Amino acid sequence: MEERVATLGLINKRNNLSRDVELSPGESTRVDDVVIRLAACERTAPWESPAETGAFVQVFVNDVRNPDEDPEFTRVFSGWLFKNSPSLNVVEHPIYDVWVKDCAMSFPGEEEEAEAS
């Protein structure tokens, strides 16, 4: 899993700012009042159908609005998100939305196919 990198989309619906976040499994990042943690990402092999990309994500949001206080992060989502089936599992939060854009990973045999081309 160490060679895998997930690209996740994050949008703040309040100010309509979005950004891409790249994480490897086990990593987390903080963007403003949100912490996103990636546990795993998977995609189907190129020769399998239907193609699907998924990531197991945890989303934590700071509930403290006073900048003088220490932040208190509450988990608002923990589960699999799927690129081609986003309605299967949704991050339900009034301000933030997170979705899967890609999971970069390699499969056995892909290197040989690329070299043969």
Digit-coded pLDDT (tens) for 74-114:
999 999 999 998 888 889 899 999 999 999 988 876 665 54
Number of domains in the chain: 1
Sign of CA dihedral 75, 77, 79, 84: negative
Task: State the virtual CA torsion across 38, 9, 48, 26 in degrees, nearest 10.
Answer: -10
Question: Which segments of 44-92 are extended strands (E)?
Answer: 53-62, 73-82
Task: Work out the average pLDDT over 32-50.
Answer: 93
Domain hosting 90: range is 5-116
CB 34 within 8 A of CB 71: no
pTM of the model: 0.84
CB 77 within 8 A of CB 58: yes
With cut-offs at 50, 70 and 90, classify the pLDDT of residue 46: confident
